[in-house]
Amino acid sequence: MSKDYTLSPRIDQVGVNDRIERITKRSLKKETKMKGLLMALNMIDLTTLEGADTENKVKQMCYKAQNLHSDYPDLPTTAAVCVYPNFVKTAAKAVEGSGVKVASVATAFPSGQSSLEIKLLDTKIAVDNGADEVDMVISRGRFHSGDYNFVFDEIATIKEACGNARLKVILETGELGTLDKIRRASDIAIDAGADFIKTSTGKIQPAATLPFTSVMLEAIKDHYYATGKMVGMKPAGGISNAKLALQYLLLVKETLGDKWLTNEWFRFGASSLANDVVMQIAKQRTGEYQSKDYFSID
């Protein structure tokens, strides 16, 4: 790595906040809202990352990813399911032939506090068991120590170990502290080969926010203008309602354009968002809200 990441662009926090305020005040026409809801549904990485996860829970989640509501068989699937490496094989079998991808967290998720040897083994287990995508965490301690070469090299090494699997690099924005540091970490991850940059593990608060995401999208845009290469974005953690999801889509559209409005380049990391999106779709179609009792608990 030869780039001096201390020279990453400084962020105008007031400007970011003003922009987000404009986004959140936007209203959508019914047809546009329905299109956005269906788009959001197909961008969700349905996720279970708990110590109490079981094979049956993973299978149930995989079924839900493909069958979001019995009354609406025309709904799209979610983009992916996201599990720990030891459940990848179970998930891959459960979604086989559906088009739903299998993502796996790796690299000593969520802390990232382990050796590179262990992180590579973690990644290898996920990929060998059939993961289409790997969600890794950066070493935040080394980042805060200013050891940007280490962070860059670790990401690049994990990227190589992924083979054909796409790599999502989790910055854990809630632990980075400032928008300037989020921009710097975004630049490092993108330059090191990330296919996606991702806000959070969902284990730390604050997790995804619109301002954090705005800064990361700007890093993606600058990289695209400089190289012509697209990088994906995944906000994760705390996005639990459809209204907020639509605001994220507006932010993506205004920053990066329509090319990024597919699940190839944009994802939501969520465990409960799908239910609210389906409820809103039902409301748009029938004029009435369905009881939450009609939806499985994530």
Quick check: 212 and 199 in contact, CB under 8 A? yes
Catalytic residue (one of 89, 195, 198, 276) = 198
Q: Are 85 and 125 in contact (CB under 8 A)?
A: yes
Confirm if 267 and 79 have CB atoms less than 8 A apart.
yes
Please identify which of the residues 45, 119, 234, 276 carries the catalytic annotation.
234
Q: Please confirm, yes or no, whether 135 is among the known catalytic residues.
A: yes
Integer Cα distance of 34 and 44 in angstroms? 16
Q: What are residue 133's DSSP bridge partners?
A: 103, 166
Q: Looking at this protein, which amino acid is placed at residue 79? A: A
If DSSP codes are grouped into helix, strand and coil, which group holds residue 156?
helix
- 270 token code pair: 């969520």
Q: Which residue has the tokens 């009881």?
A: 291
Contacts of 272 (CB under 8 A, 6+ apart): 240, 298
CB 259 within 8 A of CB 232: no
In this structure, are residues 121 and 86 in contact, taking their beta carbons and an 8 Å threshold? no
The three-point CA angle 218-215-217 to 5° equals 40
- Residue 60's H or E segment, with its range, is helix 55-66
| Active-site residue, from 135, 187, 195, 276 | 135
Say which residues have a Cβ less than 8 Å from residue 222's Cβ, sequence separation at least 6: 9
DSSP SS3 for 38: helix
Q: How far is CA 117 from CA 81, 124, 135, in A?
A: 26, 11, 17
Catalytic residues: 135, 198, 234
